[in-house]
Structure 1
Amino acid sequence: MIISWLFGISLESSQFHALGTSKIKKLLTLITLMIVGEAIFFLPFVITRVFRPTFLTVFEIDNLELGTAFSVYGIVAMASYFFGGPIADRYSPKKLLIFSLIATALAGLIMAGIPSLTTLTILYGFWGLSTILFFWAAFIKGIRQFGGEESQGKSQGLVDGGRGFVAALIASSSVFLLDALLPVSADQATKNQLENGLSLIIIFFSILVLLTAVLVWKALPSATLKTTEKAEKMSLSGVKKAISHRSVWLQAIILLCAYVGYKCTDDFGLYAQDAFGYDDVESAHIATISFWMRPIAAALAGFLGDKLVHSKITKACFVILILGSMIISSGVLGGDIFLLIALTLASTSLGIYGLRGLYYALFQESKIPLSYAGAAIGFISVIGYTPDVFMGPLMGVLLDNNPGKLGHQYLFGVLAVFGVIGLLASVLFGKDSSVTGEESQSI
C-alpha cells in the first residue's frame, strides 16, 4: 500500500517484480532521508524533549537557563539558513550531510560529560552551525528533488512522518533504557544515579548519529542531491523577488506559528511532572505520546494536502492545535487522569505535526518560480524558525515564575494565540493562491 501510493503503481505480483532497481533505490533514498532528517536533531532537541525534568536536575539549571542555550542555537541557526544554500550549491551536499552528522555526534560526547552551563551553551551554538549551516539546505533540496513538483505534500509528509517514526522509536527506547539503567525507581533515584543514566543515554544518541553518517555514506547516491545550474541559490536579487510575493510573507507567518507549537512539545514531559506529579520515567512516557502522533499526522496531512488543497489542510491543523491548547490552558485537566491527559496531548500533537508535514509543500500552491525558490526558502526559514530564539526564554520565564500547573497553562494560552494568528494567515494564503491559480490558468 505505501509503496503503491509512493510510486503510483499497483503491487500485483508481475508489476512488483517489474518495480526495478531504480524504484528500490528511490525507496532506499526515502528511508535514508527519513532517518538522517531526524538523527541530526537527536542531541540538541530530542533528549531535552523526552527527558526535560531529568535534564534540568542533572545539569542543575532552570528552564530559563536552558532556554537561553536554545536561543544561542536559534541565533546561530538564523544566519546559517541564509548561508547554507550557497554552501550546498558549491560543495557536495552528500559530503556536507556526513560532515554535519559526525560533527554533531562528537559534540554530543562532550555533552555526555555533563559540562557547565557555559560549555552547554557553547555546544548549542556549535549545533546551530552543524545542524543547519552544513545540513538543512541540502536536506530540503533532496526532499524537493525526490518528490517532484507534483507531489510536494506527499514527499514532505512522508519524510517528516518517517522522521517522526524514527524519533518516536528512539524516544520510547531511550525511556525504557533510562528505567533499566537506574538501580532504583525514578522517584527514589539520587542525582548521581540520574546523572549516570542520562550520560549513558547521551553517549547512546551520539553513537546513533555517527552510525547515521555511515548510512549516508553507504546508501545515499551522490546524484540524489546534485546541484544544478538552474538553481535555488541565495542571492540579494532572489530575496527581493521572493519578498515581493505576499504569499511568501504569509507562509513565513504560518511556519512561525506552527513552529511555536512544535517548540511547546518540549513542555509535555515537564507538564506531566509539575501538574500531575509523575516521576522522571512516567513523565518521559507522557512526552513520547507526542512523538508517536508525528508519523501519523505528518503523513496524513501531506497525503490529504496533495489530494485536496494544502492550505485547507493547514487551516484544519491550526483549528485542532487551537482547541487542544485551549483545553490545556483552561486548567480543566486535573487529578490522576492519565488517559485524558494522553488524549489531549495526542490531539494537540495531531495539529502540530500535521502542520510539519505541510511546511514547504505550500510552495506548490503559491507557484514560487524555481529560479528563486531557494531564496524564498531561506527567507521563510529565517522568519519561521525565530521561535528557536524566543520560545526557550519565554518558556523559562513563564514556567519558572509560575510554579506548578499555572505556568504551563500560560504557555499553552500563548500557543492558542499563535494558533489563531496562523489560522488567519492560512485563510489569507488560501485566497492568494486561488487568485494565483486563476491567473496562471488564464495565461
Structure 2
Amino acid sequence: MDTKSANFKKWFTFAILVLGAGTIYKVASLKSAFYVPMQEFMGLSHTQIGTATGVWSTIASFGFIFSVYISDKFSKKIMLPLALILTGFLSIWLATFPSFKVILFIYAMFGITCDMLYWPILLKSVKSLGDDHEQGRLFGFLEGGRGLVDTIVAFIGLGIFAWLGSSALGLKSSIWFFAIAMIVIGIISYFCLEHDEKVVVDQTEKTKGDTMAVVKATLKMPEVWLVSFTIFFVYGMYCGLVYFLPFLEEIYALPVALVGAYGIINQYGLKILSGPVGGVLADKKFKSPSKFLRFSFVVGVIVLGLFTFLPHKVLGIYTGMILTLVIGTIIFAMRAVFFAPMGEIKIPNEMSGAAMSIGSFIGYAPGIFAYTLYGNILDNNPGLKGYQIVFLIMCGFGVAGFIVSNLLVKKIQKK
C-alpha cells in the first residue's frame, strides 16, 4: 500500500472511531447536559444521580479487568459496533423513566457495554494508528473529535428538549434521539471498519501469546502503574466538573435556558479546543505527554484553589461561567492526553490491550466513589460551603497527581 492510501486508511479509520466515541456515552453521561431535568422529571436527588454514576463506574472498573481478555482477542470490527448497538437499546429502556432500581441496573449495564466492550478496544485502536511520537496528537485529536461530535449531537438533543417545551416528553425524546444515533453509527461502523491486523508474537518470548502471562508481565512494569495513577488523579478532578452546572444555577442563579447549553459547552464543547491543543502542546512544546501533565496539575491546582475562595455571591453570572470554563479547559486538556504516556513508555504491541485495560481499571476508579461522594457532600452541606468542599477535594487529586506524574517523568528520563 502506497503512502497516500495508507494515510487515507489511517484517518478514515480514525474518523469512524471518533464518531462512535462521540456518541456512545451520550446517555450514560446524561447528567452532563440534563442534570437539572433528571432531578425534575426522573425524581432523582444529587445522591441518587451520583449513586447511579457510581454503579456504572464500579461495573466499568471491574469490566476493564475482563476486557484484558477481550481487547487482544476480538476485532474492533465486531466489538465496537456491538457495544454501540447494545448501548442504544439500553438507552431506549432508560427513556421509559423506570424506577430507581431499574435505573441502577441500566447504569450497571452501561459499565459493560460502554466500558468493558468498547473503551479499551477504542484506545488500543487509536494507539495502533501512530508511532511513539504521534501519541499525544492522536489522543488529543480523539478527544477534540469526540468533543465536536458530542457537541453537535448534544445540541440537537437539547434542541429537541426545548422544542417540546423543556418537558418530560422532551427529555424522553432527547434520549430516544441519542439511542437511535448510537444504533445507526454502530451499523455504519460495522461496514466501515476493518478487522485488526494480527500481531505476530515471537514464540520464544516468555509470554508466548498467553493472556495471563501477558497480564503478569504488564503488571510488573512500574511505568504502567505510574501512568495508571496519573490517569486516576486527572479523572478525580474531572469528576467534579459536572457540579459546575448546579453550582452556577444555585450560587450564580444561572437561568434555566442557559443551564443545558452551558452543560454541553462545559462537558463536550471544551473537548473541541482542549483535546487538540493539549495533544499538540504535549508533543511539540513539552516533547512529552508526561511532562505536560505534570505542568498542568500545577496550573490546575493553583487556578481551582484560587477560584474556590472567590466572593462568588457578588460576582456576575458571566464571570462565573468564564472562570469555570477556564478550569474545565485545563482539566480537559489533561484528560485528552492522559493515556498518551502509554506510548511514551514504549509498551510492546502484544501488551497494549492489557496495558490499556489496566490503565482504564485504575484510572477510571474515581468514578466508583467520586460522584457519590460529591453528591452526598452537596446534599448534606447546602449552599456555597458544599461546593467549596468539592473543589478542595478536586485540588487534593491535583496535588497527588503532580507527585505521581513527577515520578513518571523521572522514570521515563532514566530509561
TM-score of the two chains, using structure 1 as the length reference: 0.86
Aligned-partner Cα distance in 2 for 1:327–1:226 = 49
Is 1:132 matched up with 2:115?
A: yes
Q: CA deviation at 1:367?
A: 2.9
Q: Specify the alignment match of 1:35 in structure 2.
A: 19
Q: CA deviation at 1:19?
A: 7.7
The answer as to whether partners of 1:319 and 1:351 remain within 8 angstroms in 2 is no
Q: Specify the alignment match of 1:203 in structure 2.
A: 176
Is 1:81 matched up with 2:81?
A: no
Name the amino acid aligned to 1:344.
Answer: L
Q: CA deviation at 1:21?
A: 4.1
The answer as to whether partners of 1:97 and 1:138 remain within 8 angstroms in 2 is yes
Is 1:176 matched up with 2:167?
A: no
Pick one of 276, 294, 305 that aligns with 2:271: 294
The answer as to whether partners of 2:16 and 2:189 remain within 8 angstroms in 1 is yes
Pick one of 242, 248, 251 that aligns with 1:272: 248
Aligned-partner Cα distance in 2 for 1:358–1:202 = 29
Name the amino acid aligned to 2:168.
Answer: E
The answer as to whether partners of 1:59 and 1:114 remain within 8 angstroms in 2 is yes
Name the amino acid aligned to 2:148.
Answer: F
Q: Specify the alignment match of 2:320 in structure 1.
A: 341
Per-residue CA shift, 1:365-401, capped at 9, x if unaligned? 2233334333322222211111121012101111111
The answer as to whether partners of 2:143 and 2:336 remain within 8 angstroms in 1 is yes
Is 1:418 matched up with 2:402?
A: no
Aligned-partner Cα distance in 1 for 2:248–2:212 = 46
The answer as to whether partners of 2:157 and 2:175 remain within 8 angstroms in 1 is no
Is 1:281 matched up with 2:264?
A: no
The answer as to whether partners of 2:121 and 2:353 remain within 8 angstroms in 1 is no
Change (3 A) 1:171 1:328: farther
Unaligned runs of 5+ in 2: none
Q: How does 1:21-420 map to 2 (within 5 A)?
A: 21-45=5-29, 47-182=30-165, 194-220=167-193, 222-223=194-195, 225-230=196-201, 235-290=211-266, 291-307=268-284, 308-335=287-314, 337-420=316-399
Change (3 A) 1:138 1:379: closer
Per-residue CA shift, 1:230-251, capped at 9, x if unaligned? 3997844333333333322221
Identical counterparts, % of pairs: 24
Per-residue CA shift, 1:118-152, capped at 9, x if unaligned? 11000001111111222123211210111233311
Tell me, what secondary structure is at the counterpart of 2:128? helix
Per-residue CA shift, 1:189-218, capped at 9, x if unaligned? xxxx62111111111111111121122023
Aligned-partner Cα distance in 2 for 1:135–1:219 = 16
Q: CA deviation at 1:83?
A: 1.4
Tell me, what secondary structure is at the counterpart of 1:150? helix
Count of aligned pairs? 406
Name the amino acid aligned to 1:302.
Answer: G
Change (3 A) 1:350 1:263: same
Select between 230-239 and 207-216 the one with higher mean Cα deviation.
Answer: 230-239
Name the amino acid aligned to 2:246.
Answer: L
